[in-house]
Amino acid sequence: MHVVRGGHEVLLPFSRTESFFAAPHEITIVQFDSRPLSSYWNTSVMWNAAYAKRFSHNFLFWSLSKPCNFKGIPLSASWCKLKAMVDADRADHGAKVMLFLDSDAIITAGYSMGAILSFVQDYLSWNMTTKPVAFNQDGPGYACSTSFRIGYPLCLNSGTVVWMKSRISSSILKSWWRMATKDISATKFPMDWRTKVLSVLIISLNCSR
């Protein structure tokens, strides 16, 4: 019998014996919000920073000091999460693995991120070298349901992104950020994806690779 308390993840069945390729201090958690840290979002930041400290991971927080834009093109503030990912990827030379979280996301598992990713790698037979970037698949909602109606095969959630640092992952993040300069008609999505929708660009990026 296994008793699971609320907010607790049990990694079963899991028989992997070798160590995760990254040491605890080589895993960095990055969190972003466009609003000041003094707002109520600092609750999740404090929680995730405490989680990182408990398991000897690094923690970085990114925020905006001015309106989000790419080369003068005004963007929704959420677009600058990509800039935070690109900057963190470039700045943290000691990290081998990076986990990005939106400001409304918290980690509730009682395991280190290395243990969690080892379980995911084992369970999904995930080749982290050839596919170094992973997203959550999005649930029901306007963007996702619309994506299916106009022919996209899946929709992904940009609120949680994990990547193994490599030339491939750096290229994907930079390409994703540069998509902000694409013409507004670059996808079939019927909304202004520069100022309202970010997920459609993830769909386009995923389908093009």
Q: What is the CATH number of the domain that holds 143?
A: 3.90.550.10
Distance in angstroms (rounded) separating the CA atoms of residues 70 and 133 = 23
| Segment 106-134, tens digit of pLDDT | 998 888 999 999 988 888 899 999 999 99
Distance in angstroms (rounded) separating the CA atoms of residues 7 and 108 = 5
| Segment 55-97, tens digit of pLDDT | 999 999 888 888 888 888 888 888 889 999 999 999 988 999 9
- Tell me the longest C-alpha to C-alpha distance in the chain: 59
State if pTM tops 0.85: no
Q: Which two tokens stand for residue 199?
A: 């997920």
Asked if 121 and 164 count as a contact pair (C-beta separation under 8 A), the reply is no
Burial class (CB in 10 A: 0-12, 13-18, 19+), 89: buried
Q: Give me the phi and psi of 13, to 5 degrees please.
A: -80, 140
* Number of domains present in the structure of the chain: 1
Asked if residue 12 is part of any domain, the answer here is no
Asked if residue 195 is part of any domain, the answer here is yes
Where in the sequence is the domain holding 182, given as residue range(s)? 24-207
Distance in angstroms (rounded) separating the CA atoms of residues 10 and 142 = 32
